[in-house]
Structure 1
Amino acid sequence: MELRHLRYFVVVAEELHFSRAAERLGISQPPLSQQIRALEEDLQVRLFDRSSRNVALTEAGRLFLAEARATLDQADRARQTAARAHRGEIGELTVGLFPSALLAEPVAAAVLGFRRQHPRVRLVLRERAVYAAVRELAAGSLEIAYLRYATRPEVPPGIALLEVMREPMMLVVHRSHRLARGDKPVPLEELAEEPFIHFSPRSDSALHEHVAAICATAGFEPRIEQEANQNGSILALIGTGMGVSILPRCLCRLSLPELRVLPIASPAAVSGIWLAHRRRGGATLPRTLASLTAQHRVPG
C-alpha cells in the first residue's frame, strides 16, 4: 500500500463515482479501478459496494476513509516539516564556542543575527576550548564552532576556516601592582620575574601555550604561580593580588574594579578568533551562521 493508493481511495470515496474521480485525479478510469482493486486485495477488505449505477462505501470503507485522510494529512505535514527544515526555518543548530566568544562583538552580532532570522530554530551553544571543539567537529557532534588560536589552527580535511578577527592580548594586574600606575604599553621584559596565574597546560585551551610563546619572544618562560581553568577564576585570583596574567582583550570586559588592564608592547601579543565549519555539503543552518559571521568579521 502506497500513499497514492490512499489518495485514489479518498477521491473515489468523496465522489462516489469512478469517472468523476478519475477526471479529478487526471487519470483514466480503468487504471483508477485497477488501483482500487489492488488496494482492496492488499487489505483483503471490500471498500466499495459497486453496481452498474451506484458506488457506495462499505462499513469497512467508511472507517478506512477517516484513517486514510489522517495518514495523508500526516504525510503532508511531514513533507512540509522537511521542506521548512531544508530552508532553515526550523530545526536545531549546535555551535561550539570558546568560553569568552560571545564577548567578541563579531561573534555576538552573528549569533544575535541568526536568532533574529531564525526564531524557531533551537540554538544549542556548547562551551568548548579549541582542541575539544576541533575533535567534536571531526566527530560531527558540533556543526560549527568558534575557535581561539594565535595562528591558523589545524583542522581535519573538509573543514573550512574563516578568520573572524584579531585582537590584542592584554596584561591584567591588581590595581596596587607596580605596573598599574602607568598607561603606556608594558614591555614583556617587565614580566620576566612576575608570578603568573593562567590556564593549566592539561586543559584544552590553547592560551597556555600562546602566552608561553609570547613570553618566549622576550627570552623568558612565564613563572606559573597558580593554575586555573575558568576565566572568572583567573580574574578573581588576580584580584587577590596573587599574580598577573596575559588575556585576550574581549575577556577583559569582565574585569573587576580592583584590576587594571594594560596594553603590551609586543607584536606577538595578538590572538585570533576563527570560525570552523564543513566545507561542502553542509546543512542550511550552519551555512547561514557562517554567512552572518563573514558579514560581521573584522579584517585583520
Structure 2
Amino acid sequence: MELKQLRYFVAVAEAGHMTRAAARLGMQQPPLSQQIRALETRLGTQLFVRHPKGVTLTESGQVLLADSRRLLEEAAAMERRMKDIAAGRAGSLNIGYTSSAAAHAFTPRVLRECRRAYPGIALQIVEDHAAGLTDSLAAGRLHCAFLRVPVARPAELVFETLLREPVLVALPAGHPALEGDGPVALRSLERERFILVRQHGAPGLYAQLLALCEKSGFLPAQVQEVGRMMSALNLVAAGEGVTVVPASMHGAHAHAIGYRLLDQPLDAPLTLVWRAGEGSAALQSFVALVRAAVADGRDA
C-alpha cells in the first residue's frame, strides 16, 4: 500500500464522486478507479458503495478515512521536518565552551540568537577546558566549541578567530600594584604566586604569559595550576596569588579582586572550532549566524 493510493482514496471520499475526484487530482477517471480497486483488493474489503450519483463510504471505508488522514498528515509533517533539517532550519547541535569563552558577552548572545532564529534546532551545551573540548570535537562528540587560545590543532578541525580582547592581571584587593590606575609592570610580579590554567606541556594563553615573563627576565617562582579560570579567580579573591584573565571576566569577585592591564602586550582571542567537512546543515547555519554577528560587530 502506497501513500499515493491513500491520497487517491481520501480525494474520492471527500468528493463523493470518482470523476470529480479525478478532476481535483488532475488525472483521468479510469486510472483513479483502477487505483481504488487495487487498494480494495490489497485490503480485502470494499471501501465504497458505487451508485449512479457517486460513491459513499462503507464501514471499512470510514475507518480507513480517519487512519488515512492521520497517516498523510504525519507523512507531510515528516517531509517538512526532513526539508528543514536539510536546509539547516532544524536538527540538533552539541556545542561546547570554556568558562572564559562563556564569560564574553558574544558567546551567550549568539547562542540566544540561534535559539530565536532557528527554534527547530535543539542546542545541547557543555562546558569543559580547551583540551577536553578539542578532544570531544575530534571524536565527533561535539559539533563546535567556543574557546580561547587553542591548546592543539588537529588537522581535521577548523579554527576561526572571532575577536580579540585585552588580557588583565587579577590581583587581590589591597595589593600594592593596584594603588595606581596605570598598567602593572609584569616584572613587578616576579615574586608572586601565579595561579594558571593549563595542562602540562600544552600551549595556550598561560604559555604566552610565561613566554612574556621569560622575555622580561624572570620565570614565576611559584605556579599553581587549576582546572578553570573561575577557580583561579576564586583563589585570587582568597589572597592566594595572582592570575591573568580576558577583560570580559573583570567583573568576577569585584569586591575582592582588582583588575589592571599589563605593561606587556597580551590579548585573548575568542575562537570557534568545528570539524572540517562536517555534514550538519544545522552547523552550517550556526557558523553563518556567528560570522554575521562578528561582521555586525556585536559585543566585539
Normalised by the length of structure 1, the TM-score is 0.83
Partner of 2:49: 49
Q: Structure 1 residues 178, 118: closer, same or farther in 2, change over 3 A?
A: same
Partner of 1:182: 180
- The alignment partner of 1:287 has SS state of helix
Question: Could you tell which deviates more after superposition, 100-109 or 17-26?
Answer: 100-109
Q: Structure 1 residues 235, 296: closer, same or farther in 2, change over 3 A?
A: same
User: How much does 1:116 deviate?
Assistant: 3.6
Partner of 2:234: 236
CA contact (8 A) 1:138 1:156 kept: no
Q: What is the CA–CA distance in structure 2 between the aligned matches of 1:2 and 1:223, rounded to whole Å?
A: 77
Q: Does 1:290 align with 2:287?
A: yes
User: How much does 1:200 deviate?
Assistant: 5.2
Q: Does 1:275 align with 2:272?
A: yes
Q: Does 1:253 align with 2:254?
A: no
1:202-256 Cα distance to aligned partner (Å, 9 max, x none): 6999444343333333344334453322333321211222211122222223143
Q: What is the CA–CA distance in structure 2 between the aligned matches of 1:174 and 1:10, rounded to whole Å?
A: 76
CA contact (8 A) 1:198 1:224 kept: no
User: How much does 1:198 deviate?
Assistant: 2.2
Partner of 1:193: 191
- 2:158 is aligned, of 157, 160, 172, to 160
User: How much does 1:68 deviate?
Assistant: 0.9
CA contact (8 A) 1:91 1:121 kept: yes
Q: What is the CA–CA distance in structure 2 between the aligned matches of 1:67 and 1:97, rounded to whole Å?
A: 47
Q: What is the CA–CA distance in structure 2 between the aligned matches of 1:296 and 1:119, rounded to whole Å?
A: 18
Aligned-partner residue type, residue 153 of structure 2: E
Please give the root-mean-square deviation of Cα atoms over the aligned residues, in Å.
Answer: 3.1
Q: Structure 1 residues 53, 168: closer, same or farther in 2, change over 3 A?
A: closer
Partner of 1:37: 37
Q: What is the CA–CA distance in structure 2 between the aligned matches of 1:53 and 1:262, rounded to whole Å?
A: 90
Q: What is the CA–CA distance in structure 1 between the aligned matches of 2:279 and 2:251, rounded to whole Å?
A: 34
Identify unmatched segments of 5+ residues in structure 2. Answer: none
User: How much does 1:162 deviate?
Assistant: 2.1
Q: What is the CA–CA distance in structure 2 between the aligned matches of 1:6 and 1:282, rounded to whole Å?
A: 35
Q: What is the CA–CA distance in structure 1 between the aligned matches of 2:286 and 2:97, rounded to whole Å?
A: 13
User: How much does 1:7 deviate?
Assistant: 0.5
- The alignment partner of 2:99 has SS state of coil
Q: What is the CA–CA distance in structure 2 between the aligned matches of 1:175 and 1:51, rounded to whole Å?
A: 94
Q: What is the CA–CA distance in structure 1 between the aligned matches of 2:218 and 2:291, rounded to whole Å?
A: 37
Q: What is the CA–CA distance in structure 2 between the aligned matches of 1:52 and 1:82, rounded to whole Å?
A: 43
User: How much does 1:136 deviate?
Assistant: 2.2
CA contact (8 A) 1:49 1:57 kept: yes
- The alignment partner of 1:162 has SS state of strand
Q: Structure 1 residues 202, 132: closer, same or farther in 2, change over 3 A?
A: same
Q: Structure 1 residues 13, 150: closer, same or farther in 2, change over 3 A?
A: closer
Identify unmatched segments of 5+ residues in structure 1. Answer: none
User: How much does 1:160 deviate?
Assistant: 3.2
- The alignment partner of 1:124 has SS state of strand
User: How much does 1:5 deviate?
Assistant: 0.8
Q: What is the CA–CA distance in structure 2 between the aligned matches of 1:89 and 1:24, rounded to whole Å?
A: 33
CA contact (8 A) 1:189 1:218 kept: yes
Question: Could you tell which deviates more after superposition, 64-73 or 10-19?
Answer: 10-19
CA contact (8 A) 2:150 2:203 kept: no
Q: Does 1:127 align with 2:124?
A: no
- 2:261 is aligned, of 260, 263, 269, to 263
Q: Structure 1 residues 116, 167: closer, same or farther in 2, change over 3 A?
A: same
1:87-117 Cα distance to aligned partner (Å, 9 max, x none): 5555443321111223324334433433443
- The alignment partner of 2:168 has SS state of strand
User: How much does 1:21 deviate?
Assistant: 1.9
Question: Could you tell which deviates more after superposition, 126-135 or 278-287?
Answer: 278-287
Normalised by the length of structure 2, the TM-score is 0.83
Partner of 2:169: 171
User: How much does 1:6 deviate?
Assistant: 0.3
- The alignment partner of 2:255 has SS state of coil
User: How much does 1:165 deviate?
Assistant: 1.3
Question: Could you tell which deviates more after superposition, 197-206 or 41-50?
Answer: 197-206
CA contact (8 A) 2:198 2:204 kept: no
User: How much does 1:279 deviate?
Assistant: 4.9
Q: Structure 1 residues 86, 2: closer, same or farther in 2, change over 3 A?
A: same
User: How much does 1:51 deviate?
Assistant: 5.7
Give the aligned length: 297
